[in-house]
Chains A and B, each alone.
Chain A
């Protein structure tokens, strides 16, 4: 009886897994097989042939920008929008953790506020500011916006981690004549690698996946980011070439999936640690 139940639970568990894996499998199949084979269902394996044609079609689908260029553009935004806030936040978080400031509650409130407000609630004024400063259609505007939205939760996250590090090591180093700055990057930062990994994973994926800020602040067709190019492909016409659009989707989603695969533990830990970011 108990054994039957256990087997039943295992079967149920793998059925659930199938519900989540099959759509991904479908995209992978559609991306690597010719349209004529998949337009009546990729689960038919007669005939079965492999092709990279979809990737080439996707690459040159839009005349204003190639897919690879848009992916490079995404990197141009994501890398600074990940590391600038982490650099600034780690300094701020360290001083919040070690030198007494009544900031914890305030920071927490700001973070709740930040994850609460819809992007739509800030976009019109941000759009106007960017236009007045001639920053529309520049990646700087996007990097600045993502930095501003990333800073508070990264500060709180790192502050909480720094406060768990034993102060004694740092005090010993100070007595030995090390400066606060040296203590920070020789002792605190190396000890904080797990926390930094969490923050990098979350912020990178968050910025890479963003669509709304890119859509509104980058309107020049030849400057679009990869998420915008996907959206253009999907809304361009009603009938989609699944081979082409799957190939493009595959390339754009493989980047955050790779980050997740490499830093999975840290990603999940970071997300759960306060469920601060979505």
Chain B
């Protein structure tokens, strides 16, 4: 533990202050934070990606998190009452089981212009002119990957919410029925509040995974023109392509600080709940 985790973290933070010439200071931070790989300063939102890895991570969170929570909850509630619901859950969860690099290949396949099933679906519903190789264009690569992680990780929130649903006492629902509450009202007044701790787990884990996303981005090698690059991938490029361990450690340290903030929040909320 000390050798493989504690020392490396401290060492990484230390290395982030050491420049390639051996001098000590904040120059690495200056270099990373002012680079267009971090935030593509002056890039208009309408111009499309690349906006910089940090912004891409933030976009990823803002789009992925609500979808993953809503879909997971919906699926859990929906599949509870459906015949064959257990089988469907297993199928949805399958995407969680496969290696993420295979997930990346799979996304490439479904988004492919001719061979991809996504475009065939668009053609079927009459949106054929939208069909394209989604991951091959700077404008759509990031969005395509984000929808991909929603597809891959929704199984997790679904399973956690399903377990949460089982923990809700039946008499709560019986009481609501006697009081004549509608399905809708029962859902908002009983189901959602009772799933509070499940939601904390889902939100925290999802945030951590999305911040650390790497494999999918690697398969696209950052997307056309870095349009889908993220912090974890920039760290890899700096460390193992540019062999600049200093700036690589800056990316790693920034990522660590962000993930620790999230974890601290979770520990606090968990101990309250």
Binding site for B on A (CB under 8 A): 9-10, 12-14, 16-17, 19-24, 26-27, 30, 38-43, 109-110, 112-127, 129, 144-145, 148-149, 151-152, 205, 208-209, 211-212, 215-216, 227, 230-231, 233-235, 238, 240, 242, 245-246, 249, 252-253, 256-257, 260, 264, 268, 271-272, 275, 278
- Name the distance in Å between A183's Cβ and chain B's nearest Cβ: 28
Cα A127 to Cα B81 with chains together (Å)? 50
- Residue pair B253, A121 in contact (C-beta under 8 Å): yes
- Residue pair B259, A253 in contact (C-beta under 8 Å): no
Cα A134 to Cα B215 with chains together (Å)? 27
Cα A256 to Cα B102 with chains together (Å)? 12
- Residue pair B92, A275 in contact (C-beta under 8 Å): no
In the assembled complex, which residues on chain B have CB atoms less than 8 Å from the CB atom of A23? 106, 109-110, 117, 151
Q: Closest residue to A275 on the B side, CB-wise? A: B201
- Residue pair A13, B85 in contact (C-beta under 8 Å): yes
Q: Is the CB of B156 closer than 8 A to any CB of chain A?
A: yes
Interfacial residues of chain B within 244-263, with CB under 8 A of chain A in the complex = 245, 248-249, 251-253, 255-256, 259-260, 262-263
In the assembled complex, which residues on chain B have CB atoms less than 8 Å from the CB atom of A211? 99-101, 214-215, 218
- Among B8, B9, B87, chain A packs the most CB atoms within 10 A around the CB of B8
Q: Assuming A112-B263, A120-B232, A235-B219, is B205 touching A9 (CB within 8 A)? A: no
Tally of contacts, chain A with chain B, CB under 8 A: 221
Cα A96 to Cα B112 with chains together (Å)? 53
- CB contact between B99 and one of A26, A208, A278 (< 8 Å): that residue: A208
- Residue pair A246, B109 in contact (C-beta under 8 Å): yes
Cα A34 to Cα B251 with chains together (Å)? 44
Judged by DSSP, the binding face of B is helix
Q: Assuming A22-B117, A116-B260, A118-B232, is B105 touching A230 (CB within 8 A)? A: yes
- Name the distance in Å between A98's Cβ and chain B's nearest Cβ: 22
Q: A20-B95, A256-B97 are in contact. List 12 more A-B contacts (CB 8 A).
A: A20-B94, A23-B110, A118-B259, A121-B255, A122-B5, A122-B12, A124-B15, A234-B101, A240-B108, A271-B156, A271-B159, A278-B209
- Residue pair B120, A234 in contact (C-beta under 8 Å): no
